[in-house]
A and B are shown apart, each in its own frame.
Chain A
């Protein structure tokens, strides 16, 4: 039972264009969402988060959008750069303060073409 789903295993984008990575969740108890980036042979690195009280959070080139009614979130990267090529994981938890574990999606491999 996958509670967090990333239905696109891969995405290719031209440098300078926008990258949009999508994530769907099924557990209505999830209240806090994060995106992690992972390079080969390294652990995941935190990128950006959003609480359910907001529908958008922005940090430089990265913006996360949350649609609670659709149980959907997306990560926008603009402009995309070759160094953004990595696997991106969406993750969710009941709250930011919860000591409970995160539930991760299966990841999307982003390739930014020069």
Chain B
């Protein structure tokens, strides 16, 4: 069990630029989640995949956000035309069946 891996750990970008984050879940985990955490708050759900199918999206996920999980393995989260309000920690989590979520260490995004 190598854990959930997220890259990059930190990303600084200028407003208006596009960014993409990657998440590699624990290998046997079929369910993958993206969360966002801002300072002083708990993680907030963004979207969920079961295998390669994106089954649920939060209202927080605007049209500028898109997530994919090709072949049901790693996942990417892309934010287009970034805004300062997108600055946050983006957390990926995975699980197998009904087990508790295993989180990665996150990607911290700063939009200047």
Count of CB-CB pairs between chains A and B under 8 Å: 54
CA distance A96 to B100 in the complex (A): 8
A26 at interface by CB-CB < 8 Å? no
For residue B58, which residues in chain A have a CB less than 8 angstroms away from its CB?
Answer: 101
- Which of A11-19, A38-46, A58-66, A68-76 is near enough to bind chain B? A38-46
For residue B93, which residues in chain A have a CB less than 8 angstroms away from its CB?
Answer: 43
B13 at interface by CB-CB < 8 Å? no
CA distance A103 to B46 in the complex (A): 11
| A side interface size, CB within 8 A | 25
> How many B residues are at the interface, by size bracket?
20 to 34
B50 interface neighbour in A42, A99, A103, A107, Cβ under 8 Å: A99
Q: Are A91 and B50 in contact (CB under 8 A)?
A: no
Report the minimal beta-carbon distance from A92 to chain B, rounded to whole angstroms: 11
CA distance A4 to B33 in the complex (A): 19
Q: Are A101 and B42 in contact (CB under 8 A)?
A: no
CA distance A49 to B102 in the complex (A): 14
A34 interface neighbour in B41, B48, B56, B100, Cβ under 8 Å: B100
Report the minimal beta-carbon distance from B41 to chain A, rounded to whole angstroms: 5
A43 interface neighbour in B41, B100, B104, Cβ under 8 Å: B104
A43-B103, A43-B104, A101-B33 known; 9 other A-B pairs, CB under 8 Å? A44-B91, A45-B103, A99-B48, A101-B48, A102-B43, A104-B44, A106-B42, A107-B40, A107-B42
Q: Which of A97-114 contact B (CB under 8 A)?
A: 97, 99-107
Which 3 pairs, one residue from A and one from B, show the smallest C-beta to C-beta distance?
A104-B42, A43-B103, A101-B45
CA distance A37 to B5 in the complex (A): 18
For residue A30, which residues in chain B have a CB less than 8 angstroms away from its CB?
Answer: none
B25 at interface by CB-CB < 8 Å? no
Check A106/B41 contact, CB under 8 A, given A43-B91, A46-B102. yes
